[in-house]
Amino acid sequence: MRKRQLNIILVIFGFLCYNAYSQTNCTVPLPPVFTLVSVEPETGKTELKWTLSSSPDIAAYILYTYNDGVGMSIDTLWDPLATSYLLTSTATKYFSVSYVVAAHRLSDTQGMPGCTSPLSNALTTIFAVADIDTCNKKIKVYWNSYIPYPKTVIDYSVLLSINGGSYNEVAKLNPGEKFFTLNDFSANADYCFVVRANIEGGSFSTSNKTCLLTKMQRPPSWINADQATVNEDNKISLSFSIDPLSAITQFRLERKIGPNGIFQEIARPSLVNNSVIITDNQADVNIINYYRLSALNSCNIPITYSNLSSNLVLDLERRDNELNLSWNSYKEWSGGVSSYSLFINTGKGFVEKEVMQPTDTLFKLGYQEIMYEVTGDHVCFYISATEALNPYGVKGRSKSSEICITPTEIITVPNIFTPNNDLVNDFFRPVLSFTPLDYHLVISDRQGKILFETKDFNASWDGSQNGNPHPQDVCLWFLRVTTPTGKKISRTGTLTIINNR
């Protein structure tokens, strides 16, 4: 027993003084070749592998940690055929660890210590660490290079497990690479990474398991641009609905002018009851403005965008008695456009004139269709769009700004009529292209005797006086009207009666 204890003490002394030296009757053996170091990700244990020393009479293999040229023994395997070892250590969870191995031979002289080979080549565990970038929604994984000796590293595999699931390869990188970026991830999930060096001959070295919880503000999965509509103050009112499960409270509103413009920030609106409602007081309502709302993370980086919205712009071109109305299609409702409606105000408030198909952007209107409805000093129009079935239960509505024209005010007075009951030109009445505010018509003979008088612009003279036909003659007429625009017009002329009954 005492002999065995002495041998153990001497062997340990040889381990600590790992630099080989010759003992009496002990030839220093050749070192083994260290072939692999690999970490078991789930247990944290480290697997060490080496080849046998080519020297005879090897009694044991000594394992060391290795740092700055100094080895610290960690265990001795009294098995001359040992080529592997599974080391239990927590160190590889926190940093990379280097290892070497040496062969030990007993002395030929009884009672003398044996001798230990020089240290083998060093191999180092792969230590991986993962960092989360919540601002850019990225995860970066870093690791140290595996020593490519005695076998070459072919490439690196990055393995990923989510919420305890199986590991899947998400990247394969060149042997010179030492980091990988995962460009997207799900919030509030456990992400674990393992890096594996794939070595020639089919072996591989695996890193520790590095995990993190992707805890961050839950971004909205959707932002719906409800509408962009011109309000009563001739400003563009905007409304957006936000995913109610979102934890984001910061938003950015952007506008661009025309389809080829560049989006520019115009406001940082507040979220109220899962909605953003804001008025753009600076926009020109007579040009097409495009809007989008983005949710900002804690680093003021947009992570979710709404669909686009745009105001409607109505144009009117007048050609003689024809009015051509045109407008832009409403932009990007999630449910699409259900219909367009044209509204008209001839002096008594806006009323719906026409409902059109969602593909329509043009409507033609003859002025004669509305001229007798005109009672104001302007005829005004606006177009309204209604959203079809929206996936978020929001039904958008948008109206354009108003566009107006001055009414056509034409007075035409015939100078001949034939009240002979042939149903052709039997009645005399001035023809107006409007409904007058005031009207007074007087017809007299050449001696100034009044033959007909009315203040009803719809009334006509049948050529009679007190029920008797007036003889063929030349009469005088006087007309005074007030037009819808407030213009007072007075006119006189002559009227010839022919073939009166």
Phi first, then psi: give them for residue 63, nearest 5 degrees.
-105, 140
The whole-number average pLDDT for the span 479-484 is: 90
Q: pLDDT tens digits, residue range 134-177?
A: 888 899 999 999 999 999 999 999 999 999 999 999 999 999 99
Beta strands in 447-501 (DSSP E): 450-454, 464-465, 468-469, 473-482, 488-497
Tell me, what CATH number does 190's domain have? 2.60.40.10
Separation CA 348–CA 353 (nearest Å): 13
Q: Which helix (H) or strand (E) holds 81?
A: none
143 and 93 in a single domain? The answer is no
Per-chain mean pLDDT for the chain: 90
* Same domain (yes/no): 37, 65: yes
Which of 124, 153, 178 finishes a domain? 124
Kindly state the helix (H) or strand (E) to which residue 288 belongs, with its residue range: none
Same domain, 85 and 160: no
The answer on 345 and 331 residing in a single domain is yes
Distance CA 153, CA 172 (A): 12
> For residue 475, is it within any domain?
yes
218 in a domain, yes or no?
no
- Give the pLDDT confidence of 231-276 residue by residue, as tens digits: 999 999 999 999 999 999 999 999 999 999 999 999 999 999 999 9
| Domain limits for position 17 | 2-124
User: Does residue 15 carry a pLDDT above 70?
Assistant: no
What's the confidence (pLDDT) of residue 377?
82
Tally of domains within the chain: 5
Position 500 scores a pLDDT of 62
Asked if residues 265 and 253 have their Cβ atoms less than 8 Å apart, the reply is yes
Same-domain status, 359 and 381: yes
Residues 328 and 342 in one domain: yes
Q: Residues 105, 120: one domain?
A: yes
How much is the pLDDT for 18?
39
Whole-prediction pTM value? Answer: 0.60
pLDDT beyond 60 at 17: no
Domain end call among 124, 158, 175: 124
Residue 473's pLDDT band (cuts 50, 70, 90): confident
CATH number of the CATH domain containing 488: 2.60.40
Hey, which residues does 199 pair with through a beta bridge?
A: 153
Same domain, yes or no: 355 and 259: no
Residue after which a domain boundary falls, among 359, 387, 405: 405
Other Cβ atoms closer than 10 A to 339: 14
Pairing of strands 411-412, 397-399: unpaired
pLDDT value, residue 101: 98
Tokens 């990379």 belong to 96
| 209 vs 301 pLDDT, higher one | 209
> Does a structural domain hold residue 478?
yes
pLDDT in tens, 63-100: 999 999 999 999 999 999 999 999 999 999 999 999 99
